[in-house]
């Protein structure tokens, strides 16, 4: 009986959090940012990762509350620890730009989070890692190309342009100008200005 009561409490707690988060999303769409933030915060403080992510966004962009990157980082961290992929990406970016601790520790943790988000299908994380591995102090071109291709195949025109550069210059792959042109054309067709300029050149 005690176990059943505990399970009911958990379900009720989760349902309330989901409802508050949905109410927050609808309020944000209607332009009621303060109400939205309050709803997100109530659900976040109950441990609901989607709401924690939304609170992080509110703090990062100053929607319904004052801008506070440290608090945004805190809530992204909370959601990321529950394996929320976009929160993993946002928290990784926060760590690289503003996070506490030594640069090496932040860097190591951020890359691990970006890898998790990329594997979960977050295009932004795939694109970020692709460029990161291409331009690092010790470039890992094959690894970078792998992530750029993932992002490009998810519709990211900038990553498609970078894949073209890889084929043109032989970075992480055998040089192939015909393949480079194909990627540049696809990127340009999706509106990428750099790809259009590269095609003209």
Q: Are 88 and 116 in contact (CB under 8 A)?
A: yes
Strand, helix or coil for residue 64: coil
Confidence label for 6 from pLDDT (cuts 50, 70 and 90)? low
Looking at the predicted structure, is the pLDDT value of residue 130 above 60? Answer: yes
- List, in order, residues 6 or more apart from 38 with CB less than 8 Å away: 24, 64
The kind and range of the H/E element at 181 are: helix 177-189
Which domains are seen in the chain, by residue range?
A: 17-120 (1.25.40.10), 122-200 (1.25.40.10)
> Residue written as tokens 């989901």?
18
pLDDT interval class at 144 (50, 70, 90): very high
Q: 138 or 46, which is more confident?
A: 46
At residue 154, the pLDDT reads 94
Query: Which range, of 43-52, 78-87, 135-144, averages the lowest pLDDT?
Result: 135-144
Instruction: Kindly indicate the confidence band of residue 97, based on its pLDDT and cuts at 50, 70 and 90.
Output: confident
């Amino acid at each position: 009986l005690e176990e059943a009561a505990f399970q009911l409490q958990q379900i009720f707690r989760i349902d309330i959090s989901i409802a508050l988060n949905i109410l927050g999303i609808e309020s944000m769409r209607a332009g009621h940012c303060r109400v939205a933030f309050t709803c997100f915060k109530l659900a976040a403080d109950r441990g609901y990762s989607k709401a924690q992510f939304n609170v992080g966004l509110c703090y990062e962009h100053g929607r319904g509350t004052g801008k506070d990157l440290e608090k945004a980082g805190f809530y992204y961290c909370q959601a990321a620890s529950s394996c929320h992929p976009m929160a993993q990406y946002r928290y990784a970016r926060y760590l690289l730009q503003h996070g506490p601790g030594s640069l090496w520790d932040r860097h190591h943790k951020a890359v691990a989070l970006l890898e998790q988000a990329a594997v979960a299908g977050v295009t932004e994380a795939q694109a970020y890692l692709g460029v990161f591995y291409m331009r690092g102090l010790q470039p890992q071109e094959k690894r970078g190309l792998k992530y750029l291709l993932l992002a490009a195949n998810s519709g990211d025109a900038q990553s498609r342009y970078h894949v073209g550069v890889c084929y043109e210059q032989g970075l992480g792959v055998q040089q192939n100008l015909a393949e480079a042109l194909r990627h540049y054309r696809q990127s340009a067709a999706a509106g990428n200005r750099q790809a259009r300029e590269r095609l003209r050149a």
